[in-house]
Amino acid sequence: MTRATKKKAGENPEKTTRIQEINRRLILDAALDAFSTYGFRGTTIDQIADKAGMSKPNLLYYFPRKQNIYVTLLEETLEEWLAPLAEIDPEGDPIEQLRKYITLKIRMSESHPEASRLFANEVLHGAPAISEFLSKHLKPLVDEKAAIIRRWVGEGKLAPVDPYHLIFMIWATTQHYADFDVQVRAIMGNQVGRPGFNEQTAQAVLSIILNGIRPRL
């Protein structure tokens, strides 16, 4: 026996057991909560293990490094996060396509604010773990959609507007409600939780942006 390596979950390639599936999920859910609130450095493995209801060594059996959990989470999140952008249809009506996109983005910020904050935190700190993703996946997709928007502008279907800055504005505005939630609450107080607040937000954002880019005569 020359093998001296320790056994880790998923050692057996291609094989994930039922227990592995359950526990990985428990860990990732707990970690998303913690990382999105306290950041990478601010979160301890013990915290995550506690929240996931298992011992620290057990957690480390599934993810040998803290960094692994973090990166896995980011990867899981990013694809989902980008999906709405990919759905913009070059053949559709420009205003309608952008309305749909903005609406989807707002809904995502409402339903997955932790994901938004996880991502925001990573980018804010220089995106050390995902800089490759940004250049290899995000940039090409944005370039593609920017070209579509530019064409729409050329055809007079949108007011003259830089497509990149338009996309940034949509990102910034929609994610603001997740990332700066505390600030929004401090200012708008009890309104935030109230029924209809989300619709009101979507309405306000859509109104300003869509009117801002509607073709002018």
Partner DNA sequence: CAAAAACTTGACTAGTTGGTCAAAATGCAG
Partner DNA sequence: CTGCATTTTGACCAACTAGTCAAGTTTTTG
Q: Which residues bind a copy of itself (CB under 8 A)?
A: 37-42, 117, 120-121, 123-127, 131, 134-135, 138-139, 142-143, 159-162, 164-166, 168-169, 171-173, 175-177, 179-180, 182-184, 186-189, 200-201, 204-205, 207-214, 216
Closest distance of CB 57 from a copy of itself, Å: 24
Please work out the total of residues on this chain that contact DNA, with binding judged by CB under 7 A: 26
Contact call for residue 139 and DNA (CB under 7 A): no
Distance CA 102, CA 85 (A): 9
Distance CA 131, CA 79 (A): 14
Residue that is written with structure tokens 């749909």 in the block: 100
Site string for DNA, 45-84 (x = CB under 7 A): xx-------xxxxx-xx--xxxx-----------------
Binding residues for DNA (CB under 7 A): 6-7, 9, 11-12, 15, 17-20, 23, 43-46, 54-58, 60-61, 64-67
